Amino acid sequence: MSEDDIERLAELLRSLPPAPAAWVRAAKELPQTRKELDEIVVRAEQDAEFRRALFADLESSLAAAGYVSDPTMLRALRERLSQLQ
Amino acid sequence: MKQPDGTSDAELVRRCRDGEAAAWEELVDRFSRYIHAIIVQAYRLRDHDAEDVFQDVFMKAYENLGRLRNDEALRPWLAQLTRHACIDRLRAGSRTETAEEVDPSGIDETLARLDEALAVREGLERLSGDCREILDRFFTRDESYRTIGTALGIPSGTIASRISRCLDRLRDEIAEETPALPRLDNR
A16 to B170: CB separation less than 8 angstroms, yes or no: no
| B169 touches A: beta carbon within 8 Å | no
**CATH architecture, domain B1-126:** Orthogonal Bundle (1.10)
Give per-residue pLDDT as tens, A18-40. 999 999 999 999 998 888 999 99
- The yes or no reply on domain B128-187 and CATH 3.40.640.10 is no
Mean pLDDT of A36-55: 93
Percent of chain B with pLDDT over 90: 67
Domain ranges within chain A, ordered by starting residue? 30-85
Give per-residue pLDDT as tens, B107-145. 999 999 999 999 999 999 999 889 999 999 999 989 999
Mean pLDDT of B21-42: 96
Interface test with B, best of A15, A75, A80 (most B CBs within 10 A): A15
Q: Is the pLDDT of residue B99 over 70?
A: no
ipTM: 0.83
B114 to A16: CB separation less than 8 angstroms, yes or no: yes
Give per-residue pLDDT as tens, B175-187. 876 655 555 543 3
Mean pLDDT of A4-15: 88
Three-class DSSP labels, chain B: CECCCCCEHHHHHHHHHCCCHHHHHHHHHHHHHHHHHHHHHHCCCCHHHHHHHHHHHHHHHHHHHHHCCCHHHHHHHHHHHHHHHHHHHHHCCCCHHHHHHCCHHHHHHHHHHHHHHHHHHHHHHHCCHHHHHHHHHHHHCCCCHHHHHHHHCCCHHHHHHHHHHHHHHHHHHHHHHCCCCCCHHHC
Give the least confident one: B17-26, B49-58, B91-100.
Answer: B91-100
Size of interface A-B (CB pairs under 8 A): 111
A19 to B36: CB separation less than 8 angstroms, yes or no: yes
Give per-residue pLDDT as tens, B38-56. 999 999 998 889 999 999 9
| B187 touches A: beta carbon within 8 Å | yes
B54 to A18: CB separation less than 8 angstroms, yes or no: no
Question: What pLDDT is attached to residue A73?
Answer: 85
Domain ranges within chain B, ordered by starting residue? 1-126, 128-187
Question: What pLDDT is attached to residue B93?
Answer: 66
Global confidence as pTM:
0.82
